[in-house]
Chain A
Amino acid sequence: MQEIATAEIAREPGGRSLWDDAWQRLRRNRLAVFGLVVLTVFISLALLTPWIAPYGYAEQNLDLGASPPSSQHWLGTDIFGRDLLTQILYGGRISLAVGFIATAVALCIGVLWGAIAGYLGGRVDAVMMRLVDILYALPFMIFIVLLMVVFGRNLLLLFLAIGAVEWLTMARIMRAQVQSLRQQEFVEAAVSLGLSPFSIIRRHVIPNALGPVIVYTTLTIPNVMLLEAFLSFLGLGVQPPQSSWGLLISRGAESMEEYPWLLLFPGLALTLTLFSLNFLGDGLRDALDVRGAGD
Chain B
Amino acid sequence: MWRFILFRLLQAIPVILAVITVTFFLIRMAPGGPFDGEKAVIPEVRAALEAQYQLDKPLLAQYSTYLGDLLQGDLGPSFKYPGRSVNELIAAGLPVTAELGLYALLVAVVIGGLAGVIAALKPNSAQDYLPMSAAMLGICMPSFLLGPLLLLVFGIYLDWLPVSGWGDIPGDKLLPAITLGSTYAAYVARLSRAGMLEVLHQDYIRTARAKGLPEWQVVTRHALRGGMLPVVAFLGPAFAGLLSGSFVVETIFQIPGLGRFYVQAAFNRDYTMILGTTVFLSTLIVLFNLLSDILAAWLNPRLRAQYASR
Q: Which of B29, B149, B243 lies in contact with A263, CB distance below 8 A?
A: B149
Among the stretches A4-12, A96-104, A230-238, the one at the interface with B is: A230-238
Which of B15-23, B91-99, B100-108 lies on the face that meets chain A?
Answer: B15-23
CB < 8 Å neighbour of B26 from A139, A146, A267: A146
Interface size of A by Cβ–Cβ distance < 8 Å? 40
**Contact flags B270-306 to A (C-beta < 8 A → 1, else 0):** 0000100010011001100100000000000000000
A260 — which chain B residues lie within 8 A by C-beta? 152
**Given A149-B266, A229-B142, A257-B152, A141 and B274 contact (CB-CB distance below 8 Å):** no
- Hey, what's the 0/1 contact readout for A228-251 against B, CB within 8 Å counting as 1? 011001111000000000100110
Known A-B contacts A137-B286, A142-B282, A257-B156; A234 and B31 likewise in contact (beta carbons under 8 Å): no
- The answer to whether B23 touches A138 (Cβ under 8 A) is no
Q: Is A256 an interface residue (CB 8 A)?
A: yes
A235–B248 Cα gap in the complex (Å)?
11
B140 and A141 contacting across the interface, CB-CB below 8 Å: no
Instruction: Label chain A's interface by main secondary structure.
Output: helix
A229 lies within 8 A of B140 (CB): no
Q: How far is the CA of A229 from the CA of B183 in the complex (A)?
A: 15
Q: Are A253 and B252 in contact (CB under 8 A)?
A: yes
Question: Are A256's CB and B247's CB within 8 A?
Answer: no
Please give, as numbers and ranges, the residues of chain A lying within 8 Å of B274 by CB-CB distance: 146, 149
The distance in angstroms between the C-alpha atoms of A279 and B240, with both chains bound, is: 26
Chain A residues with CB below 8 A from B241, complex form? 141
Whether B30 sits at the interface, judged by CB under 8 Å, is yes
Interface residues of B in 120-161 (CB under 8 A from A): 136-137, 139-142, 144-145, 147-149, 151-152, 156
A18 within 8 A of B: no
Q: A139-B240, A146-B278 are in contact. Are A236 and B266 (CB under 8 A)?
A: yes
Q: Closest 3 CB pairs between A and B?
A: A141-B244, A274-B140, A253-B148
22 contacts between A and B (CB under 8 A): A134-B14, A137-B12, A138-B282, A139-B19, A139-B240, A139-B243, A139-B282, A141-B240, A141-B241, A141-B243, A142-B281, A143-B278, A146-B26, A150-B27, A150-B29, A150-B30, A246-B144, A249-B144, A263-B145, A267-B149, A271-B141, A278-B139
Known pairs A145-B266, A149-B30, A252-B148. 19 more at Cβ < 8 A?
Answer: A137-B12, A137-B15, A138-B18, A139-B19, A139-B286, A146-B26, A146-B274, A151-B30, A226-B142, A235-B267, A236-B266, A253-B252, A256-B151, A260-B152, A267-B145, A274-B142, A275-B140, A278-B140, A279-B136
Residues of chain A whose beta carbon lies under 8 Å from any beta carbon of chain B: 133-134, 137-139, 141-143, 145-147, 149-152, 222, 226, 229-230, 233-236, 246, 249-250, 252-253, 256-257, 260, 263, 267, 270-271, 274-275, 278-279, 295
